[in-house]
Amino acid sequence: MTDNGNSGAVPAAARAKGIFIDNQWRPANSGKVIDVYAPGDGVAFAQIAAGDAADIDLAVAAARRAFETGVWSRLAAFERGRLLSKLGLAVLDHAEELAHLEARDTGKPITQARADILACARYFEFYGGAADKFHGETIPFMKGYMVATEHEPHGVTGHIIPWNYPAQMFGRSLAPALATGNATVMKPAEDACLTTLRLAELAAEVGFPEGAINVVPGLGVEAGAALISHPGVGFVSFTGSPEVGVLVQTEAARNHISCTLELGGKSPQIVFADVDLDAALPSLVNAIVQNAGQTCSAGSRLLVERAAYDRVIEAVVDRFSTLQAGTPEMDLDLGALINLRQKKRVETFIAQAQEAGIPLLAQGSIADGAPTSGYYVAPRLFGPVPRASTLAREEVFGPVLSVIPFDEEADAVALANGTDFGLIAGVWTQDSKRGARVARQIHGGQVFVNAYGAGGGIELPFGGIRKSGHGREKGMAALHDFTTLKTIIIKHD
């Protein structure tokens, strides 16, 4: 039984997935397992091994061997790149199998799961191609000297990922670490990790050597805590809640290593009165419906210039009222939330907003036939939401959109920057000068103008500031975070 609020018996036929170390499956050292529930119907359908500190020790030792013997780290960069590219192709070859597994495990519509698997493949393609193109430089120095820099891997990197996009996160976190020669240990989320285990198996099948990729499922407080504090780990990449992010950074400080934190947001979409509403509307709505709002870069605040408020809200209300949640196979606008605890958490935000008298402008529905035992929440549109309210400031991590009016450009910028977070933002205007001006004033890692892309493409550096975290993933920028720069100074005269 997990601590996620779910209940129910696991069918006897359910197969326990093990821990993946040195390209081999093994049970947890403790012999314990964790039940896995399908969010779409709340029924336990599989089990995973409950790894703990002893299993993390074994995984880190395996990764250290792969790094120190050079079986992984001393492969030529183009050979590492070729293996990454092969894994990208294997993901595409198994796309349907992986998409169905991901959809069942996370509760998301099958079309969204298919897109996630394609993104996972793209990470391995992108970093496969980048492996032998990421290099140092020579620096002109004093006469008689030759100076060169090189990017060195950290050694063993630890990766802790959440349950919202397991397959995408597997690619996003591991591919750049592997491309630069690190050996990796991943602790996926206990609520949804079946695709990460299958992906590790595929990596072994395409030829990754033993110890390059190790995956230890288990509880955060056991396996996760052991990984972030392990002295054999040289760098930690974490995606999840700000609270655990603080623990990760504290442990990193104790071990004198660095870390990247990707901790979510309260991302604004700023809509000026000159917006091309037909072009903007799908993005204004999808940005909060995508993955049932359980996306770090969800566009959860809709800031609308008062001069266009009625026109924009009318269009958003119309669209919102048609939104439907359903099972992965129904393939509607959104699926279930990940577990009962998250469903209750989101429902608490909704109840508090209603108690505070914040007007409910529109509500979507849960499709007939979606099991009542599933963790569904109908999408809600609230507005105008008071600027100081919880709903306007805290990350709900569910399908709840807050509309806030503003009067002028400076007010929009202040409002956009007025939370503790700073991850991504959208600006909608047909005035290109204003688009550029506002984009440059927004605090955060990515700003879209006349577009909004839930984190953007694989090529685009992504990450936050303040409570959204630090460090950059995606693009060539991630390769810098997964390496350390050495300068070699040679006096030859």
The answer to whether 162 contacts ligand NAD (rule: CB under 6 A) is: yes
Helices (H) and strands (E) in the chain, counts: 15, 23
The answer to whether 264 contacts ligand NAD (rule: CB under 6 A) is: yes
Confirm whether 259 is a catalytic residue.
Answer: no
262, 305, 395, 473: the active-site residue: 262
Mask 106-145, x = binds ligand NAD (CB under 6 A)?
----------------------------------------
Q: Which of 189, 216, 362, 424 binds ligand NAD (CB under 6 A)?
A: 189
Distance CA(480)–CA(474), nearest Å, equals 11
Residue 152 and residue 140 in contact, taking contact as beta carbons nearer than 8 Å: no
Nearest residue to the partner ligand NAD, using Cβ: 220
Assign 241 to helix, strand or coil. coil
- Of 190 and 481, which has the nearer Cβ to ligand NAD? 190
Q: Which of 168, 239, 419, 483 binds ligand NAD (CB under 6 A)?
A: 239
For 160, residues 6+ apart whose C-beta sits below 8 A from its C-beta are: 186, 187, 220, 224, 227, 228, 236, 237, 238, 239, 240, 244, 248
Q: Which of 29, 30, 149, 241 binds ligand NAD (CB under 6 A)?
A: 241
Smallest separation (angstroms) from ligand NAD to the CB of 92 = 25
- Of 176 and 435, which has the nearer Cβ to ligand NAD? 176
Smallest separation (angstroms) from ligand NAD to the CB of 12 = 27
The answer to whether 488 contacts ligand NAD (rule: CB under 6 A) is: no
Residue type, 188: P
296, 305, 395, 473: the active-site residue: 296
Alpha helices in 69-144 (DSSP H): 77-93, 95-106, 110-130
Q: Of all helices (H) and strands (E), which one includes residue 167?
A: helix 166-179
Could you tell me which stretch among 233-241, 270-278, 316-324, 326-334 binds ligand NAD (CB under 6 A)? 233-241
Could you tell me which stretch among 28-36, 82-90, 145-153, 257-265 binds ligand NAD (CB under 6 A)? 257-265
- Of 194 and 247, which has the nearer Cβ to ligand NAD? 247
Mask 26-65, x = binds ligand NAD (CB under 6 A)?
----------------------------------------
Distance CA(479)–CA(328), nearest Å, equals 35
Smallest separation (angstroms) from ligand NAD to the CB of 112 = 15
Q: State how far the alpha carbon of 335 is from the alpha carbons of 297, 330, 369, in Å.
A: 18, 9, 13
Q: Which of 228, 257, 284, 391 binds ligand NAD (CB under 6 A)?
A: 228
Burial class, 388, CB count within 10 angstroms (exposed 0-12 / middle 13-18 / buried 19+): exposed
- Of 246 and 489, which has the nearer Cβ to ligand NAD? 246
Q: State how far the alpha carbon of 346 is from the alpha carbons of 212, 238, 388, in Å.
A: 38, 23, 19
Smallest separation (angstroms) from ligand NAD to the CB of 144 = 50
Residue 175 and residue 126 in contact, taking contact as beta carbons nearer than 8 Å: yes
Smallest separation (angstroms) from ligand NAD to the CB of 324 = 23
- Of 107 and 162, which has the nearer Cβ to ligand NAD? 162
Confirm whether 296 is a catalytic residue.
Answer: yes
Smallest separation (angstroms) from ligand NAD to the CB of 18 = 18
- Of 81 and 158, which has the nearer Cβ to ligand NAD? 158
Smallest separation (angstroms) from ligand NAD to the CB of 170 = 12
Q: Dihedral through CA 187, CA 188, CA 189, CA 194, nearest 10?
A: -140
Smallest separation (angstroms) from ligand NAD to the CB of 141 = 43
Q: Of all helices (H) and strands (E), which one includes residue 248?
A: helix 242-254
**Total residues interacting with ligand NAD, rule: CB under 6 A:** 24
Positions 339 through 368 that interact with ligand NAD (CB under 6 A): none
**Residue 464: phi, psi to the nearest 5?**
-125, -170
- Of 247 and 415, which has the nearer Cβ to ligand NAD? 247
Q: Which of 22, 52, 105, 190 binds ligand NAD (CB under 6 A)?
A: 190
The answer to whether 262 contacts ligand NAD (rule: CB under 6 A) is: yes
Could you tell me which stretch among 132-140, 201-209, 239-247, 252-260 binds ligand NAD (CB under 6 A)? 239-247
Smallest separation (angstroms) from ligand NAD to the CB of 164 = 5
Q: Which of 34, 91, 119, 160 binds ligand NAD (CB under 6 A)?
A: 160
Q: How many CB atoms lie within 10 A of CB 65?
A: 18
Positions 380 through 419 that interact with ligand NAD (CB under 6 A): 395, 397
Q: Which residues bind ligand NAD (CB under 6 A)?
A: 160-164, 187, 189-190, 220-221, 224-225, 228, 239-241, 244, 247, 262-264, 296, 395, 397
Residues with active-site annotation: 262, 296
